[in-house]
Amino acid sequence: MSESNPLAQMANFLYGAGTPMAGLGLSPEEASREAQRRYPNKPHCLVRQWMLVDLLMADPAQWAAEHPGMAPRLVFAHNIVFDSAGRFAPGYWVRSTFEVSYTAQGFFDAGNTVYVLLGEGCSKAETLEVVFSLY
């Protein structure tokens, strides 16, 4: 992919193949209950058609110094199923903030919200500039 063609780069990020990953195989209701049990004091957002994005950093040490306690990774999802805080409408897309932890498969902790990854998704690597060129 040519870096000189930002539209093609964006299309590849949004719709190109990634490495398949499994999320939770629970119903939305079961997943919501499990998120509340695991993270009782945090809002959660159930998503489908998701990808875990490892951000390609020019200087990982500088990034780590500027973002202590966070990994250069985030969730991008094409389909919000449910947001417990009512911030996001079902059917819309969402991009999380940076990863605080991803210790339990299907539960991505972005600090202020836990993203519950339903069904199948994928992982990809992309530059911060491409990912953040989306609203």
Q: Residue 99 and residue 76: Cα distance in Å, rounded?
A: 12
| 72 in a structural domain | yes
| 121 in a structural domain | yes
Confidence of residue 14 (pLDDT cuts 50, 70, 90): confident
CA distances from 1 to 17, 45, 71, 109 (A): 13, 32, 26, 31
Tell which wins on pLDDT, 58 or 113.
113
- Which structural domain range is residue 22 located in? 6-132
Output the pTM of the full model. Answer: 0.89
| 73 in a structural domain | yes
Report pLDDT for 37.
Answer: 96
Q: Residue 90 and residue 21: Cα distance in Å, rounded?
A: 22
| 83 in a structural domain | yes
Number of domains in the chain: 1
| 85 in a structural domain | yes
| 91 in a structural domain | yes
Question: Residue 2 pLDDT more than 50?
Answer: no
| 1 in a structural domain | no
* Percentages of the chain per state (helix, strand, coil), in multiples of 5: 25, 40, 35
